[in-house]
Amino acid sequence: MKKWPIAERAFKSRFSPVFVLLIIALAISFLTRLLLLLKSSGGFQWTFTNVSGVFLWGFFYDLASISYLIIPLLLHCAFMNETIYRKPGKWIFIGSLVVLIIVAAFTKLIPIEFNKDLKKVIVGYLVLRLVIFLFLNMKSAAFRLRWRKNVLLADLFIFTFLLLFNAVSEYFFWDEFATRYNFIAVDYLVYTNEVIGNIRESYPITPIILSIALLAAYIVFLFRRPISHAVTVQPQWHHKAGFMFVILAFPLLSYFMVNNTWRKFSANEYANELAGNGMFEFGTAFWNNELDFFKFYATLPDKEAFDIVRKDLASPHSRYIDSDAYSITRNIHYDEPENKMNVVLISIESLSASFMDAFGNTQHLTPNLDSLSHESLFFTRLYASGTRTVRGLEALALSIPPSPGQSIVKRPDNQHLFSLGSIFHSKGYITQYIYGGYGYFDNMNNFFSNNDYRVIDRNAILPEDIHYANIWGVADEDLFTLSIKELDSSYATGKPFFSQIMTVSNHRPYTYPENRIDISPSLQRREGAVKYTDYAIGKFLRDASKKPWFKNTIFVIVADHCAAASGSVQLPVTGYHIPMLIYSPGNIQPKIIDKLTAQIDIAPTLLGLLHFNYNSQFFGQDIFDTPKEKERIFISTYQGLGFLRNNELIVQTPVKKIAQFTPDFVTGKSISSPINDTLSRQAIAYYQTASWLINHHAFHINN
């Protein structure tokens, strides 16, 4: 240590725990990044620029995130001294802590979106610290000194444990999504009941936590000596103030100046993700729940944007109802009489097109769907809007391009929107959303119940009617049994019905009832969950075929999103490719539909098959009424907004960046290409007008 006088002073100072935590955090972040890099070696482009960029930018973001982490320990070291046990110091301390607890309890300090259970933990910990302080106030100075050291060791253990736990969580998150934390991780924090249950059912959580605790204790043991200096060294107040001012400047500057888009230094998306820091990305996603399109993305004059979209949405069977330049409302009219058939829309959790034999899979995971593809309208070039269930639900219900940030399904003020449910409801249909889990998850209850659907969830199933359930919901066969019961009830009223059924079994932990398929649920493999869901759909259709309403029903079977959308590029088209079948024997003739189709096109295409006449605010188009040159799709992450037409992909990202790529629909890779001004304007116009209508509350039923 004599050769390193600065290090010696740092580790024998009042703030030595802060330096210890800094070293521990940087070491854990470095090792996490290295492990994730090795795990992604197949898709990572191994160049000097990428490798050096990953670790240099990574170190920068590590420092930015750790600057927030050390604040509590910094304040502890600065203010926890003998002075606070004497008047008036102790009353200042007690008063400050009580105010902090009250503020936290009323969620003014801790944002309302934060998980309630975690709020209780934080407030409980603050109360515990107050109790310890009051206890020490009654003891001798020597006793307090020993306890203050123990409290510091306990604090360092908690921080180290959380850092290690975060590293393990990042590994599992990367294993499933191949990204740093994002909105999915934020949802995981909000919905801890389902998520913690999922983790318990998917991983050996007890051994993992015990191992982390033991490792954290060992690390703290190694640094026990520097901690003792923190309670014995008494620097002058101006030295402490100067040090605190310098250190606290870092998180302040980070908050106002550091942008998470700086990490995107490479054309290889794995490199960009690895260059980030999981905690920093989580904070960014948490605070940017909704991204203002007009602030973060390139825009056109509003009228020009609407002119482009209005022209693009024009079709032989539509006419705009007025001359309002800021409206896309048009009357859809078909010459044929309306056909008020029943409609059952099955949205399947995470069913990538690549799972079907029809798209080249050789594992025979979907025998029922593959057989059904020969009896249906089979859409072979359909692409999901996003990578989450809520994006799929948004696209199916609202037929609107995915807006940056959080899905509309989870935003406030999302009631009475123009939706597929509102159209069926206006035609006299019974409209239902049937879900195998609890509908509070992902805000489904609130969204669907306020947009002309009756929500029926797991609460409607008696315990004795459940063959199997995991944390996400009942097995798909039990969901379909409930659905048959509800469809029978709707049929008995004499009214037509529109029912959307959302499956859950094809989701980690990939468990389902025994003796249904030839893959044991004990293996907890995605392939088994896919095959079981296929089995449940086949059984449902066989059961439905015996019902009197079957012959007058259209079944739409479509995925909500793919099982994975990661790759070496930001928006790999293969990560959004999903299947759709429209099945109604005796009513719809089987045919392969190879037109490029967006998920938002499903609603108007379905209504076109029924020859419904209605006023539409949908951005989707009836694919059978769309010429080839107008075919296009929308694909997105929470920040990246993709628009693909004529085999060219425009990608918009913050801050006001636009790029164009030529994608490979087989490998998912893409190469950069010159920006086509006309295409980029169309891409901007669609996303801009959608954001404009939502911001101006103009996407509602009364508009």
pLDDT tens digits along 419-451: 999 999 999 999 999 999 888 877 899 999 999
Does any domain span residue 700? no
Q: What average pLDDT score do residues 261-285 get?
A: 85
Identify the pLDDT of residue 501. 97
Residues 446 and 534 in one domain: yes
Distance CA 277, CA 170 (A): 10
Q: What average pLDDT score do residues 179-186 get?
A: 70
Does any domain span residue 177? yes
Residues 250 and 369 in one domain: no
Does any domain span residue 248? yes
Q: pLDDT exceeding 70 applies to what percent of the chain?
A: 81
Identify the pLDDT of residue 280. 85
Identify the pLDDT of residue 291. 67
Residues 319 and 203 in one domain: no
Identify the pLDDT of residue 296. 81
The answer to whether 350 and 507 have CB atoms below 8 angstroms apart is: yes
Does any domain span residue 600? yes
Residues 171 and 243 in one domain: yes
Identify the pLDDT of residue 577. 97
Residues 179 and 217 in one domain: yes
pLDDT tens digit string along 481-522?
A: 999 999 999 999 999 999 999 999 988 888 999 999 999 988
pLDDT tens digit string along 558-574?
A: 999 998 766 666 789 99
What does the mean pLDDT of the chain come to? 86
Q: How many domains does the chain have?
A: 2
Residues 270 and 312 in one domain: no
Higher pLDDT, 106 or 404: 404
Least confident of 117-131, 350-364, 526-540, 582-596: 117-131
pLDDT above 80: residue 25 = yes
Identify the pLDDT of residue 113. 43
pLDDT above 80: residue 298 = yes
Residues 324 and 275 in one domain: no
Residues 547 and 501 in one domain: yes
Point out the domain boundary residue: 252, 287, 322: 287
Residues 499 and 640 in one domain: yes
Assess whether the previous peptide bond of 88 is cis (omega < 30° from 0).
yes
SS3 content of the chain, % helix, strand, coil (to 5): 55, 15, 35
- Write the CA distances from 434 to 38, 541, 544, integer angstroms: 42, 16, 16
Does any domain span residue 96? no
How big is the chain, counted in residues?
Answer: 703
Residues 18 and 72 in one domain: yes
Point out the domain boundary residue: 238, 261, 287: 287
pLDDT above 70: residue 136 = no
pLDDT tens digit string along 240-268?
A: 677 777 788 888 888 888 887 788 888 88
Residues 283 and 322 in one domain: no
Q: Which domain holds residue 42?
A: 5-85+135-287
Residues 384 and 265 in one domain: no
Q: What CATH number has the domain bearing residue 328?
A: 3.40.720.10
The answer to whether 692 and 619 have CB atoms below 8 angstroms apart is: no
Does any domain span residue 49? yes
Question: CB neighbours (10 Å) of residue 135?
Answer: 12
Q: What average pLDDT score do residues 607-633 get?
A: 96
Point out the domain boundary residue: 246, 268, 287: 287
Identify the pLDDT of residue 32. 93
